[in-house]
Amino acid sequence: MNERRTITRRNALRGIGVGLVTAAGGRSLAADQPRELSGQDTLCDPTTKYPKPPFNAQSQPWPGLASKMEPRPDHGEDSYKGSGRLTERKALITGGDSGMGRAAAIAFAREGADVAINYFPTEEPDAQEVIQLIKECGRKGVPLPGDLREEAFCQKLVSDAIEALGGLDIVVSNAARQQARPSILELSSEEFDWTMKTNIYAPFWIIKAALPHLPPGSAIIGTASEQAYDPSPELYHYAQTKAATMNYVKSLAKQLAPMGIRVNGVAPGPIWTPLQVSGGASQEKLQKFGGQTPMGRPGQPAELASIYVQLAAMDASYATGQIYGSAGGSGQP
C-alpha cells in the first residue's frame, strides 16, 4: 500500500515536472514569436509612434481647427476599436470637436454610447466630422454649438442634450481657452475673464444643471492639465483654471459619492491640439512642442481616449476624486 502510494506520488510529480518544462518551453517559444495584435493593441515603440519636433511654424485664429493643423492630430479616427464598455450610455462632451474631447467622443461612440458635443460655432467643420464618425458607429450624435461663457446657454445645453439623448449619465467638461501671454502686464481683464468663464464658470453651470438628472452610476469627468502642477510663466491665467479644475474634481467627488456619482479628472501633458496653434503657444515653443518630455514628443488626443473611457465605465466604479495623468513621462499626477 505504501509502495503504491510512493509510486503514484512519484508519477504525479514526474507529470508535473513534464508539464512545467512544457509550459516553460511554450513560453520560450511564444517569446520568440512576434505578437499578433490588431487595432489600438498593436505593440510598438511609444517614442516613435507619432511625430516629433521640430514642427512647422503655423498659426490659426482662435479657436482653431484640427483639420487645418500640420501634422493633423490623431483622435483615434482609424485606430480606436470599441468593446461595448459604454453600451447605451448617454454623454455630453464640451469641446467635442477636437483634441481630447473629440477623442473621447469617438471612443465613447465606439464603446456603444450616444454622444452630444458642444463646440464654438466657428468649429463647425471639425464638429461635423465628429458627428459623422459617431453616426457611423450606429450611435446618436448631437451637435450643440454655442458660447459657454453664458450661463443661460450652459443651462440650455444640458436640457437640449437630455432631450436629444433621452437622458444623461456622462458629463465631460473639456472645453478650455488657452492664450499665452509673456507678461501679466500684457494680460487684459477681458482675456482673463474669458478664460475664467470658459474654464471655471462653464463646468460649474453645466454640472449644476445636469446634476438633478444624473442617476446613480453616472460619471463626471473634468480635463485638468500638467499646468495645475507645474505652471508655465506665459500661462498664468490658464494654469490657475487647471489647478481649480483639479480641486473641484476632488471636492465634488466627496460631495457626490453618497449619491453614487463619480467625479474624476484627466491631466494631459503637451498634447497636439488646436489650442497650440491658435495662440496657446508661441511660435518658438510650437516648433519644439513636446520635445522636452522624456518621450521627446507631444502626445496625441487618441492616446488619452481610453482614459476617458475608463473613468466613465462601470468597471472603474471605485475610482472617484482621482486625477489621471498622461504626460509622456513628465507631469505629477
Q: Would you name the residues annotated as active-site residues?
A: 238
By three-state DSSP, how is residue 299 classified? strand
Cis previous bond, 71, omega within 30: yes
Burial (CB count <10 Å: 0-12, 13-18, 19+), residue 15: exposed
SS3 for 172? strand
Cβ-contact 90, 114 below 8 angstroms: yes
